[in-house]
Structure 1
């Protein structure tokens, strides 16, 4: 039996995963679920997904990364996980989480 899911592109798989997930997912979670080898590839795909969804009635929502040490919230333009907090220099950073929602 043929699985239709295997014919989708990586971006299409990420969109479907985020659209139907019960909770926002991190890049590492997306990577594990879809069998993607590099976290950087997930972030690159999320960037392009966000750009392409702007034309549709759908939006990629980003829960911003936060320092677990001092609570600093990062304002990121492109999807990525910061490596170090600019306030306290901690590397204990909660990664960004992503979900896709329909706009009304």
Structure 2
């Protein structure tokens, strides 16, 4: 299948099968915004969850660089601040398909 024939979600899933990546890294690779990557990743998660394969979307949570907080309610999100210390130094979640 040519790359032009693949959907954005197929390209996202293929990229996540190769190596873990953050939404910003995937946004550059797929020519999307990081928030669009998150929305597409939610759909990819649902589609592979119901598939006959045993794959799943794994998410390493965002983490505050200042206090280490990683208990965010929504792991597949791009938080702007830490709810604990209010720092804006928060890493993005890392996504992968295994």
Q: TM-score, normalised by structure 2?
A: 0.90
C-alpha distance in 1 between matches for 2:62 and 2:71? 6
Number of residue pairs the alignment of both structures matches: 96
Match of 1:61 in 2: 58
Corresponding residue for 2:39? 44
Distance across 2 between alignment mates of 1:34 and 1:100: 17
Q: Which runs of 5+ in 1 are unaligned?
A: none
TM-score with structure 1 setting the length? 0.85
When you count strand as a share of all residues, which structure comes out higher? 1
Name the SS for the 2:95 alignment partner: strand
- d(CA) in 2 for partners of 1:7 and 1:45? 17
Which residue number in structure 2 is paired with residue 35 of structure 1? 31
Query: After TM superposition, which residue ranges in structure 1, 4 or more long, deviate above 2 angstroms?
Result: 74-78
Is there any run of 5+ residues in structure 2 with no aligned partner, and where? none
The two structures, once aligned, show a CA RMSD in angstroms of 1.4
